[in-house]
Amino acid sequence: MTMPKTRFNRAQAKGPAYYAQPRFLTSPVLRDWWTVLHPPYTLWHLSYVVIGACLVGPVNAVRLVATLVAFFLAVGIGAHCLDELHGRPLGTSIPARQLVVAATLGISVAVALGVLGMIKVSPYLAIFIGVGVLLAVGYNLEMFHGRLHTDGLFALGWGAFPLLTAYFAQHARLSPASVVAGLFAALLSQAQRQLSSPARELRRKTNSVEGSVARIDGSIVPIDKDSMLHPLEQALRSLCWAVVVLAIALALVQFRPW
């Protein structure tokens, strides 16, 4: 199911995401851009790239860096700017023109890197480039009446796709092992979606929660917005760092720096 976007009200006590508007940034402009770039989720997404590239050796470091840069530009910048442009779910004050320019440049440079990969690796990278552009633009602008903005497509596009693309960029082919690894990434991204959707609902569309839990021992535990939000976001943080640690481990195996 697609969750309708709701513009975040700055008057609410909590931000639109647990990483939004960080206090260590003093400039409101920098805070807005930090929020739009979704640093934890971008890092999570890029970790799939490293996992896919390092699944089997040898690993070409130049191709890996180029793939990381391309996905950071296309997703970390391009897709996220389009997402904020479409309905302002994060409630930032970034002008629409800046979001459009950033998204256009990010996706365009990513495509240019992909074309270079077609020359150096395989012309079949054109398929991955086309799918990537369709995902970045179609998903975030909810094209075709939202048919591209689904939980299933998120799992495949933000999980399996970067892993498989990175693998193909290294070896100019896919393998049964890479497909299974892609399934791992898709399932993990599905778990991310299942946690982040109710967390967004609580942060962006819920004023308060009232209730209680009656335990077997007779004690009563109150339920509020924070008590519901905390385990969801703690799980998201843990999963994010788990994927990053796995990516680092695989990179260390392939490059053996010592």
Q: Are 64 and 166 in contact (CB under 8 A)?
A: yes
Is residue 167 domain-resident? Answer: yes
- Phi/psi at 150 (5° precision): -130, 165
Per-residue pLDDT of the chain (258 residues; tens, 9 = 90+): 334 454 444 434 468 999 999 999 999 999 999 999 999 999 999 999 999 999 999 999 999 999 999 999 999 999 999 999 999 999 999 999 999 999 999 999 999 999 999 999 999 999 999 999 999 999 899 888 778 889 999 999 999 999 999 999 999 999 999 999 999 999 999 999 999 999 999 999 999 899 999 999 999 999 999 999 999 999 999 999 999 999 999 999 999 866
| Closest to 182 (Cα-Cα) out of 160, 158, 161 | 160
pLDDT in the model for residue 258: 64
Is residue 48 domain-resident? Answer: yes
- Phi/psi at 222 (5° precision): -70, 150
First vs last C-alpha separation in the chain: 48
149: Cα within 13 Å, side-chain hemisphere: 18
Dist. CA 148–CA 141, nearest whole Å = 9
Residues in the chain: 258
The model's pTM is 0.91
Q: How many CB atoms lie within 10 A of CB 55?
A: 21
Domain boundaries, position 33: 28-255
pLDDT in the model for residue 257: 64
Is residue 22 domain-resident? Answer: no
Is residue 203 domain-resident? Answer: yes
Is residue 147 domain-resident? Answer: yes
Is residue 15 domain-resident? Answer: no
pLDDT in the model for residue 2: 39
Is residue 1 domain-resident? Answer: no
Measured CA angle at 205 (ends 200, 210), to 5 deg: 100
Dist. CA 81–CA 75, nearest whole Å = 9
Is residue 7 domain-resident? Answer: no
Residues 6 or more apart in contact with residue 101 via CB below 8 angstroms: none
How many domains does the chain contain in total? 1
> What tokens appear for 225 in the block?
């917005």
232-236 long-range contacts (CB < 8 A, ≥24 apart) are 232/195, 232/196, 232/198, 232/199, 232/202, 233/18, 233/195, 233/199, 235/195, 236/18, 236/40, 236/192, 236/195, 236/196, 236/199
pLDDT in the model for residue 96: 97
